[in-house]
Amino acid sequence: MEIQVNDSNFENWCVTLLKTHPIKLQKTLEAQSRDQLISWLCWRDPDGVYSDLDCIKNNTRILTRGKALFYTHRRILRYHRENGYKLLSANENYRCDQ
């Protein structure tokens, strides 16, 4: 099944992944397929070069699953760092500067 970028389930999955607690992030990302990681990267940065087609058009190497995992992990941690903290539940706050 192909994931549609405008699909509300896909959007919810992307936001949930983005807000994953950093302690759980690596394990969560490792459970994702290469295609899922690349789809998330394309959602987060529509002007980026992540899809196989975009890589070919730009004469760059196609992303491996390992690279896609690395880039996704880095972008999510950057999101947490830039936003300082995120409310994870009604009783739990996570602050990146602690």
Q: Can you give the residue ranges of every domain in the chain?
A: 8-95
86 exposed, middle or buried (CB, 10 Å; 0-12, 13-18, 19+)?
Answer: middle
The residues near 96 (Cβ < 8 Å, ≥ 6 apart) are 22, 80, 81, 83, 84, 85
Average pLDDT, integer, range 44-65:
95
pLDDT band at 46 (very low <50, low <70, confident <90, very high): very high
What pairs with residue 81 in β-bridges? none
Tell me the C-alpha distance between 55 and 43, whole Å: 16
* Per-residue model confidence (pLDDT) at position 84: 76
63-77 confidence digits (pLDDT tens): 999 999 999 999 999
